[in-house]
Amino acid sequence: MNYGKPFLLYEEQADLLLSRGLLASKEQLVSRLKVVNYYRLSGYLFPFRDAKDCFKAGTTLKIIWKHYTFDRRFRLLVLDAIERFEVAIRSRLAYLHAQSFGPFGYVNPSTLPGLSASDHERWMSDLAKEINKSGERYMLHFKAKYGDDHNFPPIWITVEQMTMGKTVTFFRGCEGRIQKEIAAWFNIPDLVFTSWLRTLNEVRNVCAHHGRLWNRELGNNFLLPSMHKYPEWHTPYRVPQNKMFGVLTVLNYLMKVTAPTSGWCNRLNILLSEYNDIPKAWMGFIDGWETGPLWK
């Protein structure tokens, strides 16, 4: 199908939104469109549209902008928790793998049985690109001092060059006993923990690209621990597996291990209180969520 939508000037974009019922001054709307792309802003406008592609009565630019600014601050808070968790996992992976296979064991595909030969080769190729372009002083020092004998640094240096996606690949490739030991650190079954890693990587990518997050529905459901051994994930309510409230519950749980003094939960509560008219149900929040054992 041919794409037939024409280029529109800022003023024309504003006129289009106003003609569909958005309540705003044209001057302010043009000002907003100059700093936030029309297509990006439309993601926040979409929930306020009716069946005829017009805006529901009472939809103002002020309401839309409040959702936008909330989402920006919400992303930063979520990214802060994921960063703390990611650094902790990289550190733990490097330690346990080097303990078993030495500083350079990861270069040998046999030490990562969870990866196929082609997956390991691709992973190493991507790591090599990150290492070669790195301008970090510790990496330049290693290359200058040891580069004649080593194409790759020891794993505790290499993990500092890994994206979260590459960290997830590293975890997936490790022997089961290493995976279980890391998951046991969080008192979570390894299969559940693996699904959390994938989900948090997805969420991190949204944050890193400044995408709309607050009311996003995840592409894949993460796993919950069993009801029998972990009832707190199921009662008094079942934690949703494809909504942001579920992700927040996972992050709050993980922060209690990786950053217990960070005050992350308090900062989340402050943000939610500041924007108390944002519909939390769209994020998957459940009435009385604060009383759940995972949030007390």
Domain ranges of the chain: 10-59, 69-291
The model's confidence at residue 48, banded by pLDDT at 50, 70 and 90, is very high
Region 106-134: what's the mean pLDDT? 96
Cα 212 from Cα 69, distance rounded (Å) = 11
- Specify the pLDDT at position 277: 92
DSSP track, 35-47: HS-HHHHHHHHGG
- Specify the pLDDT at position 4: 83
pLDDT at 187 exceeding the cut of 90: yes
pLDDT at 70 exceeding the cut of 90: yes
Cα 31 from Cα 52, distance rounded (Å) = 27
pLDDT tens digits, 221-275 = 999 999 999 999 999 999 999 999 999 999 999 999 999 999 999 999 999 999 9
pLDDT tens digits, 205-223 = 999 999 999 999 998 899 9
Distances (CA, A) of 232 to 131, 248, 250: 43, 15, 12
